[in-house]
Protein backbone atom coordinates (compact mmCIF):
# COMPACT_ATOMS: atom_id res chain seq x y z
CA UNK A 1 0.00 0.00 0.00
CA UNK A 2 1.39 3.47 -0.91
CA UNK A 3 1.85 6.31 1.52
CA UNK A 4 -1.02 8.17 -0.15
CA UNK A 5 -3.25 5.18 0.37
CA UNK A 6 -2.25 5.15 4.06
CA UNK A 7 -2.96 8.85 4.47
CA UNK A 8 -6.29 8.83 2.67
CA UNK A 9 -7.48 5.42 3.79
CA UNK A 10 -8.01 4.46 0.13
CA UNK A 11 -8.10 0.71 -0.61
CA UNK A 12 -4.84 -0.69 -2.14
CA UNK A 13 -6.34 -1.27 -5.59
CA UNK A 14 -7.61 2.30 -6.10
CA UNK A 15 -6.55 3.98 -9.40
CA UNK A 16 -4.45 7.19 -9.52
CA UNK A 17 -7.41 9.22 -10.84
CA UNK A 18 -9.74 7.94 -8.10
CA UNK A 19 -7.07 8.73 -5.55
CA UNK A 20 -6.70 12.31 -6.79
CA UNK A 21 -10.48 12.75 -6.66
CA UNK A 22 -10.51 11.43 -3.12
CA UNK A 23 -7.71 13.85 -2.14
CA UNK A 24 -9.65 16.75 -3.67
CA UNK A 25 -12.73 15.75 -1.68
CA UNK A 26 -10.73 15.61 1.55
CA UNK A 27 -9.19 19.02 0.73
CA UNK A 28 -12.65 20.49 0.18
CA UNK A 29 -13.85 19.18 3.54
CA UNK A 30 -10.78 20.60 5.31
CA UNK A 31 -11.16 23.96 3.55
CA UNK A 32 -14.84 24.02 4.55
CA UNK A 33 -13.99 23.29 8.18
CA UNK A 34 -11.26 25.95 8.23
CA UNK A 35 -13.72 28.40 6.65
CA UNK A 36 -16.30 27.66 9.31
CA UNK A 37 -13.79 28.36 12.06
CA UNK A 38 -12.69 31.57 10.35
CA UNK A 39 -16.33 32.59 10.01
CA UNK A 40 -17.13 31.80 13.64
CA UNK A 41 -14.00 33.63 14.78
CA UNK A 42 -14.95 36.71 12.80
CA UNK A 43 -11.76 36.63 10.68
CA UNK A 44 -13.75 36.85 7.45
CA UNK A 45 -15.80 39.82 8.62
CA UNK A 46 -13.59 42.37 10.34
CA UNK A 47 -16.47 44.85 10.76
CA UNK A 48 -18.88 42.42 12.44
CA UNK A 49 -19.23 42.28 16.22
CA UNK A 50 -18.42 38.79 17.50
CA UNK A 51 -18.50 37.59 21.13
CA UNK A 52 -14.68 37.56 21.10
CA UNK A 53 -14.58 41.18 19.91
CA UNK A 54 -17.01 42.24 22.65
CA UNK A 55 -14.75 40.65 25.26
CA UNK A 56 -11.64 42.16 23.60
CA UNK A 57 -13.34 45.53 23.98
CA UNK A 58 -13.80 45.01 27.74
CA UNK A 59 -10.10 44.11 28.01
CA UNK A 60 -9.09 47.13 25.95
CA UNK A 61 -11.09 49.48 28.18
CA UNK A 62 -10.36 47.94 31.59
CA UNK A 63 -6.89 46.54 31.09
CA UNK A 64 -5.99 42.90 31.69
CA UNK A 65 -7.28 41.28 34.88
CA UNK A 66 -6.67 37.58 34.30
CA UNK A 67 -8.94 35.14 36.07
CA UNK A 68 -11.70 37.70 36.69
CA UNK A 69 -15.02 38.31 34.96
CA UNK A 70 -14.60 40.79 32.12
CA UNK A 71 -17.58 42.74 33.47
CA UNK A 72 -18.98 42.83 37.01
CA UNK A 73 -15.48 41.78 38.04
CA UNK A 74 -15.76 42.63 41.76
CA UNK A 75 -18.22 40.41 43.57
CA UNK A 76 -19.20 38.34 46.58
CA UNK A 77 -20.99 34.97 46.65
CA UNK A 78 -24.35 34.66 48.41
CA UNK A 79 -26.70 31.78 49.14
CA UNK A 80 -30.25 31.23 50.27
CA UNK A 81 -33.57 30.04 48.91
CA UNK A 82 -36.69 31.12 47.03
CA UNK A 83 -40.14 30.35 48.47
CA UNK A 84 -42.88 30.51 45.83
CA UNK A 85 -46.15 32.23 46.74
CA UNK A 86 -48.00 30.16 44.13
CA UNK A 87 -49.30 33.27 42.34
CA UNK A 88 -46.68 32.94 39.59
CA UNK A 89 -47.99 29.49 38.61
CA UNK A 90 -50.91 31.20 36.81
CA UNK A 91 -48.51 32.55 34.16
CA UNK A 92 -45.57 30.13 34.28
CA UNK A 93 -45.44 26.36 34.57
CA UNK A 94 -41.82 26.52 35.83
CA UNK A 95 -41.60 24.36 38.95
CA UNK A 96 -39.92 27.20 40.83
CA UNK A 97 -43.31 29.01 40.96
CA UNK A 98 -45.40 26.07 42.24
CA UNK A 99 -47.24 26.94 45.48
CA UNK A 100 -45.20 25.99 48.53
CA UNK A 101 -42.06 25.13 46.53
CA UNK A 102 -38.79 26.20 48.19
CA UNK A 103 -35.83 26.22 45.78
CA UNK A 104 -32.19 26.51 46.90
CA UNK A 105 -30.38 29.48 45.36
CA UNK A 106 -26.72 30.36 44.88
CA UNK A 107 -25.86 33.85 43.75
CA UNK A 108 -23.42 36.68 43.40
CA UNK A 109 -23.67 40.37 44.16
CA UNK A 110 -21.31 42.53 42.13
CA UNK A 111 -20.44 45.99 40.89
CA UNK A 112 -20.61 46.65 37.15
CA UNK A 113 -17.30 47.27 35.41
CA UNK A 114 -14.21 45.31 34.71
CA UNK A 115 -12.05 46.46 37.66
CA UNK A 116 -11.80 43.74 40.34
CA UNK A 117 -9.83 45.92 42.78
CA UNK A 118 -11.57 49.32 42.41
CA UNK A 119 -12.89 50.89 45.62
CA UNK A 120 -16.67 50.63 45.99
CA UNK A 121 -18.31 53.78 44.66
CA UNK A 122 -21.85 54.77 45.56
CA UNK A 123 -23.17 55.23 42.05
CA UNK A 124 -21.58 52.20 40.37
CA UNK A 125 -24.34 49.93 39.08
CA UNK A 126 -24.96 47.04 41.51
CA UNK A 127 -26.02 43.58 40.41
CA UNK A 128 -27.58 40.43 41.76
CA UNK A 129 -27.12 37.16 39.87
CA UNK A 130 -28.95 33.98 40.89
CA UNK A 131 -28.90 30.29 40.06
CA UNK A 132 -32.00 28.29 41.05
CA UNK A 133 -31.57 24.54 41.06
CA UNK A 134 -34.87 22.82 40.33
CA UNK A 135 -35.41 19.25 41.58
CA UNK A 136 -35.48 17.61 38.15
CA UNK A 137 -32.06 18.92 37.08
CA UNK A 138 -33.38 22.09 35.44
CA UNK A 139 -31.83 25.46 36.31
CA UNK A 140 -32.83 29.08 36.13
CA UNK A 141 -29.88 31.45 35.88
CA UNK A 142 -30.53 35.15 35.93
CA UNK A 143 -28.60 38.41 36.39
CA UNK A 144 -30.20 41.72 37.34
CA UNK A 145 -29.07 45.30 37.84
CA UNK A 146 -30.24 48.06 40.23
CA UNK A 147 -31.13 50.47 37.42
CA UNK A 148 -34.57 51.19 35.90
CA UNK A 149 -33.58 50.54 32.25
CA UNK A 150 -30.47 49.35 30.39
CA UNK A 151 -28.30 52.05 28.78
CA UNK A 152 -28.22 50.48 25.29
CA UNK A 153 -30.62 48.67 22.99
CA UNK A 154 -28.24 46.49 20.95
CA UNK A 155 -24.94 44.67 21.45
CA UNK A 156 -23.33 46.94 18.85
CA UNK A 157 -24.35 50.00 20.87
CA UNK A 158 -22.98 48.30 24.01
CA UNK A 159 -19.55 47.91 22.40
CA UNK A 160 -19.63 51.51 21.14
CA UNK A 161 -20.61 52.79 24.56
CA UNK A 162 -17.76 50.93 26.27
CA UNK A 163 -15.28 52.78 24.07
CA UNK A 164 -17.05 56.14 24.37
CA UNK A 165 -17.03 55.91 28.18
CA UNK A 166 -13.39 54.74 28.43
CA UNK A 167 -11.59 57.03 30.88
CA UNK A 168 -8.97 59.31 29.34
CA UNK A 169 -5.66 58.35 31.05
CA UNK A 170 -4.83 62.07 31.48
CA UNK A 171 -8.00 63.03 33.36
CA UNK A 172 -9.37 59.71 34.59
CA UNK A 173 -12.72 60.68 33.06
CA UNK A 174 -14.37 59.87 29.71
CA UNK A 175 -13.72 62.36 26.92
CA UNK A 176 -16.87 64.54 26.77
CA UNK A 177 -16.68 64.80 22.96
CA UNK A 178 -16.76 61.03 22.52
CA UNK A 179 -19.68 60.65 24.91
CA UNK A 180 -21.59 63.45 23.18
CA UNK A 181 -21.06 61.76 19.80
CA UNK A 182 -22.27 58.43 21.21
CA UNK A 183 -25.46 59.94 22.64
CA UNK A 184 -26.09 61.91 19.43
CA UNK A 185 -25.93 58.63 17.48
CA UNK A 186 -28.06 56.83 20.10
CA UNK A 187 -30.90 59.04 21.35
CA UNK A 188 -32.48 55.97 23.02
CA UNK A 189 -29.33 55.72 25.18
CA UNK A 190 -29.47 59.42 26.05
CA UNK A 191 -33.06 58.95 27.27
CA UNK A 192 -32.09 55.82 29.23
CA UNK A 193 -29.08 57.57 30.79
CA UNK A 194 -31.36 60.33 32.07
CA UNK A 195 -33.61 57.74 33.77
CA UNK A 196 -30.60 55.94 35.23
CA UNK A 197 -29.11 59.18 36.61
CA UNK A 198 -32.46 60.09 38.19
CA UNK A 199 -32.76 56.81 40.14
CA UNK A 200 -32.57 56.75 43.92
CA UNK A 201 -29.32 55.07 44.92
CA UNK A 202 -29.87 53.11 48.13
CA UNK A 203 -27.54 52.64 51.10
CA UNK A 204 -26.27 49.24 50.02
CA UNK A 205 -26.84 45.89 48.36
CA UNK A 206 -29.39 44.78 50.96
CA UNK A 207 -31.97 47.48 50.26
CA UNK A 208 -31.58 47.67 46.48
CA UNK A 209 -34.13 46.73 43.80
CA UNK A 210 -32.70 44.44 41.11
CA UNK A 211 -34.39 44.34 37.70
CA UNK A 212 -34.27 41.88 34.81
CA UNK A 213 -34.36 44.84 32.38
CA UNK A 214 -34.65 42.39 29.48
CA UNK A 215 -38.12 41.05 28.82
CA UNK A 216 -38.82 37.31 28.95
CA UNK A 217 -41.87 35.16 28.17
CA UNK A 218 -43.55 33.15 30.89
CA UNK A 219 -45.28 30.07 29.51
CA UNK A 220 -48.29 28.67 31.42
CA UNK A 221 -49.35 25.04 31.77
CA UNK A 222 -51.79 25.48 28.85
CA UNK A 223 -49.03 26.92 26.62
CA UNK A 224 -50.20 30.55 26.89
CA UNK A 225 -47.19 32.94 26.72
CA UNK A 226 -47.07 36.21 28.68
CA UNK A 227 -44.46 38.94 28.13
CA UNK A 228 -42.85 39.83 31.46
CA UNK A 229 -40.11 41.80 33.14
CA UNK A 230 -39.31 41.05 36.76
CA UNK A 231 -37.68 42.68 39.75
CA UNK A 232 -36.54 41.77 43.27
CA UNK A 233 -37.86 44.39 45.69
CA UNK A 234 -36.25 44.61 49.16
CA UNK A 235 -38.41 43.66 52.12
CA UNK A 236 -36.67 46.23 54.33
CA UNK A 237 -37.40 49.89 53.63
CA UNK A 238 -34.70 51.44 51.43
CA UNK A 239 -32.44 54.14 52.83
CA UNK A 240 -30.65 56.73 50.71
CA UNK A 241 -26.98 56.13 49.87
CA UNK A 242 -24.43 57.43 52.32
CA UNK A 243 -22.06 60.06 51.01
CA UNK A 244 -18.45 59.16 50.30
CA UNK A 245 -17.39 60.96 53.48
CA UNK A 246 -19.41 58.51 55.58
CA UNK A 247 -18.06 55.36 54.00
CA UNK A 248 -14.67 55.75 55.75
CA UNK A 249 -11.61 53.94 54.49
CA UNK A 250 -13.10 50.50 53.76
CA UNK A 251 -12.64 50.07 50.00
CA UNK A 252 -15.18 47.24 49.99
CA UNK A 253 -17.78 48.94 52.14
CA UNK A 254 -20.83 47.90 50.09
CA UNK A 255 -19.88 44.21 50.07
CA UNK A 256 -18.73 44.23 53.71
CA UNK A 257 -22.01 45.83 54.80
CA UNK A 258 -24.04 43.09 53.08
CA UNK A 259 -21.87 40.34 54.56
CA UNK A 260 -22.27 41.89 58.02
CA UNK A 261 -26.06 42.18 57.55
CA UNK A 262 -26.20 38.50 56.56
CA UNK A 263 -24.19 37.51 59.64
CA UNK A 264 -26.87 39.24 61.76
CA UNK A 265 -29.99 37.86 60.04
CA UNK A 266 -31.40 36.76 56.66
CA UNK A 267 -32.13 39.47 54.07
CA UNK A 268 -35.27 39.19 51.91
CA UNK A 269 -36.64 40.40 48.60
CA UNK A 270 -40.02 39.85 46.90
CA UNK A 271 -40.00 38.71 43.29
CA UNK A 272 -42.46 40.98 41.50
CA UNK A 273 -43.31 40.01 37.92
CA UNK A 274 -44.70 42.77 35.67
CA UNK A 275 -47.05 41.65 32.88
CA UNK A 276 -46.58 43.48 29.60
CA UNK A 277 -49.48 44.53 27.40
CA UNK A 278 -49.61 44.59 23.61
CA UNK A 279 -47.29 47.35 22.40
CA UNK A 280 -44.97 47.28 25.43
CA UNK A 281 -41.45 46.92 24.01
CA UNK A 282 -39.97 43.46 24.57
CA UNK A 283 -36.96 44.07 22.30
CA UNK A 284 -35.76 47.36 23.75
CA UNK A 285 -34.34 47.37 27.29
CA UNK A 286 -33.74 51.14 27.17
CA UNK A 287 -37.50 51.81 27.40
CA UNK A 288 -39.49 51.38 30.61
CA UNK A 289 -42.96 49.88 30.55
CA UNK A 290 -45.85 52.06 31.77
CA UNK A 291 -46.04 52.10 35.58
CA UNK A 292 -49.68 50.92 35.71
CA UNK A 293 -49.03 47.37 34.46
CA UNK A 294 -50.43 44.42 36.41
CA UNK A 295 -47.91 42.73 38.69
CA UNK A 296 -47.73 39.28 40.27
CA UNK A 297 -45.96 38.69 43.59
CA UNK A 298 -44.30 35.36 42.80
CA UNK A 299 -42.52 34.71 46.11
CA UNK A 300 -39.72 35.59 48.49
CA UNK A 301 -35.97 35.35 47.99
CA UNK A 302 -34.17 34.90 51.31
CA UNK A 303 -30.40 35.25 51.40
CA UNK A 304 -28.84 33.63 54.45
CA UNK A 305 -25.09 33.85 53.96
CA UNK A 306 -22.15 35.22 51.99
CA UNK A 307 -18.69 33.88 51.16
CA UNK A 308 -15.68 35.21 49.25
CA UNK A 309 -15.23 33.92 45.72
CA UNK A 310 -13.41 30.59 45.77
CA UNK A 311 -12.98 27.52 43.60
CA UNK A 312 -16.32 25.81 42.98
CA UNK A 313 -18.60 28.54 44.32
CA UNK A 314 -20.18 31.48 42.47
CA UNK A 315 -16.76 32.38 41.10
CA UNK A 316 -17.10 29.49 38.67
CA UNK A 317 -20.71 29.99 37.62
CA UNK A 318 -21.63 31.56 34.31
CA UNK A 319 -24.91 33.39 35.03
CA UNK A 320 -26.03 32.98 31.43
CA UNK A 321 -29.50 34.57 31.13
CA UNK A 322 -30.57 31.96 28.59
CA UNK A 323 -30.25 29.02 30.99
CA UNK A 324 -33.99 28.80 31.60
CA UNK A 325 -36.35 26.12 32.90
CA UNK A 326 -39.42 24.98 31.00
CA UNK A 327 -42.01 27.72 31.61
CA UNK A 328 -39.61 30.66 31.10
CA UNK A 329 -38.54 31.53 27.54
CA UNK A 330 -36.48 34.31 25.95
CA UNK A 331 -38.15 37.37 24.40
CA UNK A 332 -37.10 38.93 21.11
CA UNK A 333 -34.66 41.25 22.93
CA UNK A 334 -31.36 41.17 20.94
CA UNK A 335 -29.38 41.71 24.15
CA UNK A 336 -30.29 38.26 25.48
CA UNK A 337 -28.42 36.15 22.92
CA UNK A 338 -25.57 38.70 22.90
CA UNK A 339 -25.28 38.39 26.68
CA UNK A 340 -25.31 34.62 26.52
CA UNK A 341 -22.55 34.56 23.91
CA UNK A 342 -20.41 37.23 25.63
CA UNK A 343 -20.71 35.64 29.09
CA UNK A 344 -19.68 32.33 27.61
CA UNK A 345 -16.59 33.88 26.01
CA UNK A 346 -15.71 35.74 29.22
CA UNK A 347 -16.18 32.51 31.19
CA UNK A 348 -13.99 30.51 28.80
CA UNK A 349 -11.17 33.06 29.01
CA UNK A 350 -11.22 33.42 32.78
CA UNK A 351 -11.57 29.67 33.34
CA UNK A 352 -8.27 29.13 31.53
CA UNK A 353 -6.34 31.77 33.48
CA UNK A 354 -4.47 31.73 36.81
CA UNK A 355 -6.61 33.08 39.64
CA UNK A 356 -5.85 35.86 42.14
CA UNK A 357 -7.93 36.22 45.32
CA UNK A 358 -10.91 38.56 45.17
CA UNK A 359 -10.51 41.91 46.93
CA UNK A 360 -13.79 41.14 48.70
CA UNK A 361 -13.61 38.97 51.80
CA UNK A 362 -16.74 40.30 53.48
CA UNK A 363 -14.89 41.74 56.46
CA UNK A 364 -13.34 45.22 56.67
CA UNK A 365 -10.13 43.68 58.05
CA UNK A 366 -9.63 41.75 54.81
CA UNK A 367 -8.51 38.66 56.65
CA UNK A 368 -10.96 36.29 58.18
CA UNK A 369 -13.26 33.97 56.31
CA UNK A 370 -16.97 34.64 56.71
C1 LIG B 1 -24.97 43.24 25.15
C2 LIG B 1 -25.15 43.56 26.40
C3 LIG B 1 -24.29 42.99 27.52
C4 LIG B 1 -23.00 42.53 27.50
C5 LIG B 1 -22.08 42.44 26.30
C6 LIG B 1 -22.67 42.11 28.84
C7 LIG B 1 -21.47 41.56 29.23
C8 LIG B 1 -21.20 40.96 30.44
C9 LIG B 1 -20.05 40.13 30.74
C10 LIG B 1 -18.92 39.82 29.79
C11 LIG B 1 -20.17 39.71 32.02
C12 LIG B 1 -19.22 38.77 32.77
C13 LIG B 1 -19.74 37.33 32.58
C14 LIG B 1 -18.88 36.26 33.23
O15 LIG B 1 -17.65 36.20 32.99
O16 LIG B 1 -19.45 35.44 33.99
C17 LIG B 1 -21.39 40.29 32.53
C18 LIG B 1 -21.86 40.10 33.79
C19 LIG B 1 -23.09 40.53 34.19
N20 LIG B 1 -24.05 41.20 33.46
FE21 LIG B 1 -23.91 41.76 31.57
N22 LIG B 1 -23.76 42.33 29.65
C23 LIG B 1 -24.77 42.87 28.88
C24 LIG B 1 -26.02 43.22 29.28
C25 LIG B 1 -26.51 43.02 30.52
C26 LIG B 1 -27.87 43.29 30.90
C27 LIG B 1 -29.00 43.82 30.00
C28 LIG B 1 -27.98 42.95 32.19
C29 LIG B 1 -29.29 43.03 32.93
C30 LIG B 1 -29.52 43.25 34.06
C31 LIG B 1 -26.67 42.44 32.63
C32 LIG B 1 -26.35 41.96 33.89
C33 LIG B 1 -25.16 41.37 34.25
C34 LIG B 1 -24.90 40.82 35.55
C35 LIG B 1 -25.86 40.80 36.72
C36 LIG B 1 -23.60 40.30 35.52
C37 LIG B 1 -22.84 39.67 36.66
C38 LIG B 1 -23.08 38.22 36.73
C39 LIG B 1 -22.19 37.64 37.78
O40 LIG B 1 -22.22 38.13 38.93
O41 LIG B 1 -21.47 36.71 37.45
N42 LIG B 1 -25.81 42.51 31.58
N43 LIG B 1 -22.00 41.05 31.54
Kindly state whether residue 103 falls inside one of the protein's structural domains. yes
CA distance 257 to 122: 13
Marked catalytic residue, from 65, 72, 186, 366 = 72
Range of the domain at 145: 67-152+181-351
Annotation says 72 is catalytic? yes
| 3-class DSSP state of 219 | strand
Which secondary-structure segment (H or E) carries 345? helix 334-351
CA distance 199 to 260: 26
Q: How confident is the model at residue 136 (pLDDT cuts 50, 70, 90)?
A: confident
Q: Ligand 1, closest atom to CA 318? A: 16
| 3-class DSSP state of 283 | coil
Tell me the pLDDT tens digit for each residue of 59-81. 999 999 999 999 999 999 999 99
User: Is any atom of ligand 1 closer than 6 Å to the C-beta of 151?
Assistant: no
What per-residue confidence (pLDDT) applies to 322?
98
Region 109-116 average pLDDT: 98
- pLDDT above 90 (res 14): no
* Residue predicted with more confidence, 3 or 320: 320
Backbone angles phi, psi at 104, to 5 degrees: -65, 145
Kindly state whether residue 169 falls inside one of the protein's structural domains. no
- Check if the beta carbon of residue 15 is closer than 8 Å to that of residue 21: no
Tell me the pLDDT tens digit for each residue of 207-259. 999 999 999 999 999 999 999 999 999 999 999 997 654 556 899 999 999 99
What per-residue confidence (pLDDT) applies to 249?
81
| 3-class DSSP state of 40 | helix
The number of residues making up the chain comes to: 370
What spacing in Å lies between the alpha carbon of 339 and ligand 1's midpoint?
Answer: 6
* Concatenated DSSP letters of 260-324: HHHHHS-EEEEEEEEEP-TTS-SS-TTSPPPTT--EEEEEEEEEEEEE---TTSGGG----TT--
CA distance 302 to 77: 14
Kindly state whether residue 343 falls inside one of the protein's structural domains. yes
Q: How confident is the model at residue 22 (pLDDT cuts 50, 70, 90)?
A: confident
User: Is any atom of ligand 1 closer than 6 Å to the C-beta of 72?
Assistant: yes
Q: Ligand 1, closest atom to CA 350? A: 15
Return the biggest CA–CA distance within the chain.
Answer: 87
What spacing in Å lies between the alpha carbon of 321 and ligand 1's midpoint?
Answer: 9
Tell me the pLDDT tens digit for each residue of 162-189. 999 999 999 989 999 999 999 999 999 9
- pLDDT above 80 (res 2): no
Kindly state whether residue 62 falls inside one of the protein's structural domains. no
Q: Which residues are annotated as a binding site?
A: 343
Tally of domains in the chain: 1
Kindly state whether residue 275 falls inside one of the protein's structural domains. yes
Kindly state whether residue 221 falls inside one of the protein's structural domains. yes
Tell me the pLDDT tens digit for each residue of 291-344. 999 999 999 999 999 999 999 999 999 999 999 999 999 999 999 999 999 999
User: Is any atom of ligand 1 closer than 6 Å to the C-beta of 339?
Assistant: yes
CA distance 272 to 116: 31
Tell me the pLDDT tens digit for each residue of 339-368. 999 999 999 999 999 999 999 999 875 433
What spacing in Å lies between the alpha carbon of 69 and ligand 1's midpoint?
Answer: 9
Kindly state whether residue 1 falls inside one of the protein's structural domains. no
Kindly state whether residue 168 falls inside one of the protein's structural domains. no
Half-sphere exposure of 194 (CA within 13 A, CB side): 8
- Check if the beta carbon of residue 264 is closer than 8 Å to that of residue 312: no
Question: Residue 261 to residues 79, 92, 206, 215, 265: CA-CA distances in angstroms?
Answer: 13, 33, 8, 31, 6
User: Is any atom of ligand 1 closer than 6 Å to the C-beta of 349?
Assistant: no
Average pLDDT, whole number, for the chain?
91
What per-residue confidence (pLDDT) applies to 327?
98
What per-residue confidence (pLDDT) applies to 6?
45
What per-residue confidence (pLDDT) applies to 130?
99
Please give the sequence-ordered ranges of beta strands (E in DSSP) within 125-167, or none if there are none: 126-133, 139-145
CA distance 250 to 72: 19
User: Is any atom of ligand 1 closer than 6 Å to the C-beta of 71?
Assistant: yes
Q: Which residues are annotated as a binding site for heme?
A: 343
Of 15, 23, 335, 88, whose CA–CA distance to 192 is shortest?
335
CA distance 272 to 231: 5
What is the CA 178 to chain-centroid distance, rounded? 26
- pLDDT above 50 (res 41): yes
Question: Residue 8 to residues 13, 33, 220: CA-CA distances in angstroms?
Answer: 13, 17, 55
CATH number, domain containing residue 211: 2.40.180.10
Q: Ligand 1, closest atom to CA 210? A: 30
What is the pairing mode between strands 267-275 and 225-234?
antiparallel
CA distance 36 to 333: 27
Of 293, 273, 276, whose CA–CA distance to 85 is shortest?
273
Amino acid sequence: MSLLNDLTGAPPGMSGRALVLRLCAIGAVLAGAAGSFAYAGGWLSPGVLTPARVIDRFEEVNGPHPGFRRNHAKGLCVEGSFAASGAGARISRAGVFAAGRVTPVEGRVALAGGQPYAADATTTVRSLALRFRLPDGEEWRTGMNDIPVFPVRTPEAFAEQLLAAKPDPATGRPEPERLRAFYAAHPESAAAAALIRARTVTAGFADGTYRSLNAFRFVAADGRATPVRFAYLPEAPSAPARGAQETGTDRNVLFDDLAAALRREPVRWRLVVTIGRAGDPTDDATRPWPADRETVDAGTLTLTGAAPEAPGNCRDINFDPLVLPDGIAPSDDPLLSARSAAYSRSFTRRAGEAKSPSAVTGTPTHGAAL
